[in-house]
C-alpha cells in the first residue's frame, strides 16, 4: 500500500473513530438530557398547582371546586403553538390529587378516582416528606411508552393534607429528541466529510513533497542531472536541501577525479611532444630545423590551451543539472550570431554557408549564450570536415512544438565504427586534410547544452554524402510584432 493511501486511511480512521464515539455519546445523551429537563419543568408545575389546589383541598371541594373548573377550562383550550417547528394544540399534563392516605380524590381525566396510589413512589415518598417522582409504562406491559410523574405536597400551614401529581407522557417530547439526534448525526456526517477532505489535502501535501524527494533521489542514483526539489519551510524541505548538499559534495568529488584523469590523459601527448622538441632545441640545429621545432611547440601549446578551454566550458555546463539563467531567445538572431561567429573560418577554408529558415517568429526559452556556443561548435565541426569550395547548410524548421536546427556538410561522413562513440569525451576523428585532431570535447558540450534545454542532438550520414547534425529543442512561439 502506498504511503499516501496509508496516511489518508490512518488520518481518516483516527478522525472517524473519534467522531463516531463523540457522536454516539451526544446521541445517547440527548434522550436523558431532554427527560431531565422535562422533569425539572414538571417539578415547577406540580408545586405551582399544589399551592393553587390547597384551598379547595382544605374545604373538601377539590373534585368540584374552583381548581377543578380551571383545570377543565385549561384542558379545553386550543393552544395553537409551534414549538421548534412542531405543532402543539392541547395540554399534555394529567393532574391527580390524593388525600393524606394516598387515595385519589381528583383526576383531571376522571379515570382513577378512589384508587389507592400510596404505593407509587411519587405519592409514597411525598407523603414521607421526600421528593417524589416515578416513570411508569403508559400502557400496562408496554415498556416502550412511559409516563413521567412528579408530585408536590399540598399543605395546610405545616400540615400535609394531600399530594398533587403532574404526569406527562414521554412520547410528547420524542419528536424533539429525534430532531436533536438527527441534527447531531447530520452535523457529524458533515464533520466526517470535512475531516476526510482535510485528510486528503494533508496527505496530498505530505506525499507531494515525499514524491518529489523520491523522484530526485532516483534521478541522482541513476546518474541523471536533475534540479533539486522545490524549497519548503518544513522538515521535508530541510531533507531536500540536505540531499542536494550531499549530492553536490559526492558528485563534486567524483567529478574532479574524473576530470583530473581525463585532463591528465589528454595532456600527455602534447606535453610529450613539447618536451621532445624542447630537448632537441637544446642541441645545435640548423635555423630551419630550429624554426620547425619552435612551431611544433607553439602548435602543441595551442592544442593544450584549446583542450583546457573546452574542458572548462564542458565542465561549466555538466556541473549544473538545470539552466541557471533563462530568457526568450530569437531563432533568427541565434542563427545570425552563429553565422557571424564562423565567418572568418569559412573564408579561410573557402567555404560557403547558406542559412535557410522561415521561423522568424519563433523563440526559445533558454540560455542564449550556451545555445550560440553549441551551434558554433556544430558549424566548426562541419567546417573542419568539408572540402574547399563546398557548401554548408544551416536550416531551421518547426515540427509540432519543437524546433529542429540542421547543420549539413559535404564531407566524407562518419565511419561506421565511430557512430556509437562520436559523443564520447575526447574522442575525435582525423581531419580529411591531414590537420591535427580536435580536442573531442565539442560534441559532448553540444549534447549537454541540448539536455539542459530539454532537447537532443543526433548525427547521421547523408545518403548523398556528408553528415547531418540535428539539434532538436522545445519551442515557444511568439506572436509576430505588428
- CATH code where residue 340 lies: 3.30.565.10
Of 313-317, 391-395, 446-450, least confident by mean pLDDT is 313-317
Alpha carbons 181 and 184: distance in angstroms, whole number: 5
The SS3 assignment for 458 reads: strand
pLDDT of residue 285 exceeding 60, the answer is yes
Of 20-29, 154-163, 323-332, the range with the highest mean pLDDT is: 154-163
Lowest mean pLDDT among 15-29, 38-52, 348-362, 457-471: 15-29
350 and 373 belong to one structural domain: yes
Q: Is the pLDDT of residue 318 over 60?
A: no
Nearest residue to 53 via CA among 32, 73, 29, 69 = 69
- pLDDT at res. 300: 66
In a domain, 388, yes or no: yes
Select from 131, 152, 179 the last residue of a domain: 179
Query: Average pLDDT for residues 46-73, to the nearest whole number?
Result: 93
Distance CA(378)–CA(311), nearest Å, equals: 16
At residue 166, the 3 state secondary structure works out as strand
The predicted structure's pLDDT at residue 283: 77
Q: Is the pLDDT of residue 328 over 90?
A: no
SS (H, E, C) 1-65: CCHHHHHHHHHHHHHHHHHHHHHHHHHHHHHHHHHHHHHHHHHHHHHHHHHHHHHHHHHCCCCCC
CA dist 143 → 94, 146, 189 (Å): 19, 6, 32
Q: How far apart are CA 309 and CA 57, in angstroms?
A: 121
pLDDT of residue 27: 62
Mean of the per-residue pLDDT values for the chain? 78
- Tell me: do 271 and 364 sit in the same domain: no
Domain boundary pick from 135, 161, 179: 179
> Residue 193 — pLDDT band, cuts 50, 70, 90?
confident
Whether 246 maps to a domain, the answer reads: no
Identify the domain containing residue 146 by its residue range: 3-179
Q: How many domains does the chain have?
A: 3
Instruction: State the average pLDDT over residues 306-326.
Output: 60
Model pLDDT, residue 247: 65
> Residue 477: pLDDT band by 50, 70, 90 thresholds?
very low
* DSSP state for residue 76 in the 8-state scheme: T
Alpha carbons 439 and 339: distance in angstroms, whole number: 22
Asked if residue 458 and residue 348 are part of one domain, the reply reads yes
User: Which residue bears the cell 554548408?
Assistant: 392
Q: How far is CA 97 from the centre of its chain?
A: 72
- Rounded CA gap, 74 and 111, in Å? 18
Give start and end residues of each alpha helix (H) in 60-173.
66-75, 121-127
Each residue's pLDDT tens digit, 237-284? 777 767 766 666 655 554 455 555 555 545 655 666 677 767 777 777
Same domain for 293 and 171, yes or no, is: no
Angle between helices 287-318 and 235-281 (to 10 degrees): 180
Give the list of residues 6+ apart from residue 15 with CB closer than 8 angstroms, or none. 192, 195, 196, 199
Sign, Cα dihedral of 9, 15, 16, 21: positive
Give me the residues paired with residue 425 across strands: none
Confidence of residue 103 (pLDDT cuts 50, 70, 90): very high
Last residue of a domain, one of 119, 145, 179: 179
Element spanning 211, H or E: helix 174-221
Of residues 17 and 255, more confidently modeled: 17
Show the CA angle centred on residue 436, arms to residues 434 and 442, nearest 5°: 120
Output Rg (C-alpha) for the chain, integer angstroms.
50
- Comparing CA positions, the residue from 298, 466, 476, 296 lying closest to residue 387 is 466
Going by C-alpha positions, the residue among 353, 333, 330 that lies closest to residue 343 is 353
Same domain, residue pair 299 and 415? no
Query: Per-residue b/e over 223-244, b at no fewer than 16 CB within 10 Å?
Result: eebbebbeebeeebeeebeebb
| Range 134-153 average pLDDT | 86
More confident residue, 405 or 199: 405
Model pLDDT, residue 398: 81
Domain of residue 310, CATH code: 1.10.287
313 and 354 together in one domain: no
Look at residue 399 and tell me whether its pLDDT is greater than 70.
Answer: yes
Amino acid at each position: 500500500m502506498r504511503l499516501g493511501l496509508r496516511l489518508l486511511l490512518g488520518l481518516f480512521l483516527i478522525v472517524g473513530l473519534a467522531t463516531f464515539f463523540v457522536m454516539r455519546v451526544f446521541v445517547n445523551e440527548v434522550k436523558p438530557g431532554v427527560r431531565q429537563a422535562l422533569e425539572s419543568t414538571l417539578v415547577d408545575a406540580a408545586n405551582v398547582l399544589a399551592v393553587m389546589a390547597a384551598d379547595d383541598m382544605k374545604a373538601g371541594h377539590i373534585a368540584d371546586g374552583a381548581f377543578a373548573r380551571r383545570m377543565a377550562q385549561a384542558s379545553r383550550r386550543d393552544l395553537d403553538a409551534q414549538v421548534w417547528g412542531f405543532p402543539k394544540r392541547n395540554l399534555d399534563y394529567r393532574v391527580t390529587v390524593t388525600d393524606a392516605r394516598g387515595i385519589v380524590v381528583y383526576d383531571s381525566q376522571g379515570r382513577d378516582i378512589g384508587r389507592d396510589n400510596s404505593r407509587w413512589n411519587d405519592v409514597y415518598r411525598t407523603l414521607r416528606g421526600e421528593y417524589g417522582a416515578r416513570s411508569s409504562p403508559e400502557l400496562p406491559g408496554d415498556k416502550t411508552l412511559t409516563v413521567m410523574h412528579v408530585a408536590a405536597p399540598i399543605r395546610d400551614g405545616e400540615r400535609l393534607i394531600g399530594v398533587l401529581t403532574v404526569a406527562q407522557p414521554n412520547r410528547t417530547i420524542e419528536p424533539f429528541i429525534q430532531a436533536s439526534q438527527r441534527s447531531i448525526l447530520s452535523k457529524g456526517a458533515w464533520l466526517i466529510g470535512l475531516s476526510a477532505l482535510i485528510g486528503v489535502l494533508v496527505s496530498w501535501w505530505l506525499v507531494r513533497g515525499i514524491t518529489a524527494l523520491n523522484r530526485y533521489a532516483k534521478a541522482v542514483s541513476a546518474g541523471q542531472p536533475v534540479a533539486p526539489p522545490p524549497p519548503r519551510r518544513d522538515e521535508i524541505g530541510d531533507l531536500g536541501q540536505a540531499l542536494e548538499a550531499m549530492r553536490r559534495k559526492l558528485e563534486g568529488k567524483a567529478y574532479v577525479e574524473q576530470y583530473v584523469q581525463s585532463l591528465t590523459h589528454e595532456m600527455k601527448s602534447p606535453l610529450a611532444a613539447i618536451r621532445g622538441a624542447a630537448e632537441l632545441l637544446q642541441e645545435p640545429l640548423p635555423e630551419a630545423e630550429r624554426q620547425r621545432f619552435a612551431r611544433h611547440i607553439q602548435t602543441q601549446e595551442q592544442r593544450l590551451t584549446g583542450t583546457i578551454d573546452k574542458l572548462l566550458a564542458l565542465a561549466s555546463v555538466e556541473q549544473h543539472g538545470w539552466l541557471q539563467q533563462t530568457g526568450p531567445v530569437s531563432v533568427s538572431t541565434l542563427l545570425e550570431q552563429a553565422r557571424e561567429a564562423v565567418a572568418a573560418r569559412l573564408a579561410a577554408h573557402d567555404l560557403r554557408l547558406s542559412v535557410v529558415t522561415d521561423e522568424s517568429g519563433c523563440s526559445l526559452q533558454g540560455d542564449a549564450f550556451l545555445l550560440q556556443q553549441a551551434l558554433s561548435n556544430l558549424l566548426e565541426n562541419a567546417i573542419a570536415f568539408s572540402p574547399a569550395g563546398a557548401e554548408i547548410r544551416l536550416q531551421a524548421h518547426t515540427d509540432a512544438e519543437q524546433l529542429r536546427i540542421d547543420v549539413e556538410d559535404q564531407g566524407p561522413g562518419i565511419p561506421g565504427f565511430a557512430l556509437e562513440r562520436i559523443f564520447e569525451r575526447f574522442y575525435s576523428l582525423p581531419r580529411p586534410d591531414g590537420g591535427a585532431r580536435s580536442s573531442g570535447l565539442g560534441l559532448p558540450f553540444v549534447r549537454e547544452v541540448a539536455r539542459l534545454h530539454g532537447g537532443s542532438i543526433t548525427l547521421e550520414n547523408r545518403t548523398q554524402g556528408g553528415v547531418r547534425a540535428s539539434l532538436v529543442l522545445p519551442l515557444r512561439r511568439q506572436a509576430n510584432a505588428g
